[in-house]
Amino acid sequence: MTDPAADPGPIAFIGLGMMGLPMASRLVAAGFSVRGSDLSEQALAAFAAAGGIVCASARTAAQGTTIVITMLPNGSIVRDALLGSGGAALALAPGSLVIDMSSSAPMETRQLAEELSAREVFLVDAPVSGGVKRAVSGTLAIMAGGDPAQIERARPVLSAMGSTIIATGAPGSGHAVKALNNYVSAAGLVAACEAVLIAEKFGVDPNVLVDVLNVSTGKNNSTELKLKPFILSRTFASGFSMALMAKDLRTAADLSEQLGVDAEGARDAATLWAEASATLGKAADHTEIHRFVAGRSVKPEQGG
């Protein structure tokens, strides 16, 4: 069995996308030897330029490592990258650790933890919050679910990518908390957008409304960090896609149903964001929800 307190040696990082590339680069900058794998040649070239070691496949990246990090679009892709044909977990020795930093479905994560445990491989689910900007600066908020000893084992690695690491409980709990966090964030953003539209209709300067919100009880992440920079400016360039937000909201709504919790707000939010994503396209930034809400708010003039 691998000694958790020992030097982790080379780390495999699978998934060098918009978030994965800066996260893996932070590990390289912190002095870790990182072996990256991705389907995109462009991503691999960028990782090599950052000092990373490029590998042809997930399994090749994992060979000779005891820690594998995944940062992929969803839990199904994570499972395939680990346990599918040529999967990374197939190359791991007993006692190795997988850290899934993707936004995966909590119940699927529980099942994956059991499957990896049967191979004597540990799983910590450690999704992140903060977007590309905080991935680049290494100041992500990280939610970690799993055995406490394995979370501590992962902490030095996670600390190179995030400034806040919170243990959330058993395997899958990190992914549950991440989905619920994004539900609350998305609900606050929609409320803020609706408030802006109402203020404008009444003749109030939206910038004034935002200033009031941010010194009052209506203040939230969206009023502080999204309304003026991305929505009132019409740049819509926060770096987090609407499709990913819609996915996380569906995860939260599905979890409530799986647990027998009647969460109408979560269901409504998942439906709204799914409609917005379908209307505006997968490439739309999540702050473009304002455009969708504005379009829905236009009422035909009533005849006299």
| Backbone phi, psi, residue 175, to 5° | -65, -35
178 belongs to the catalytic site: yes
3-state SS, residue 232:
helix
- The number of angstroms, rounded, from the C-alpha of 200 to the middle of its chain's C-alpha atoms is 33
d(CA 130, CA 144): 15
Handedness of CA 258, 259, 264, 269 (dihedral sign): negative
- DSSP class of residue 300 equals P
The values of phi and psi at residue 95, to 5°, are 95, -5
DSSP 112-162: HHHHHHHTT-EEEE--EESHHHHHHHT-EEEEEES-HHHHHHHHHHHHTTE
Ordered DSSP codes for 260-277: T---HHHHHHHHHHHHHH
CA angle 134, 135, 141 (to 5 degrees): 65
Q: Please identify which of the residues 178, 201, 219, 228 carries the catalytic annotation.
A: 178
Q: Please list the active-site residues.
A: 178
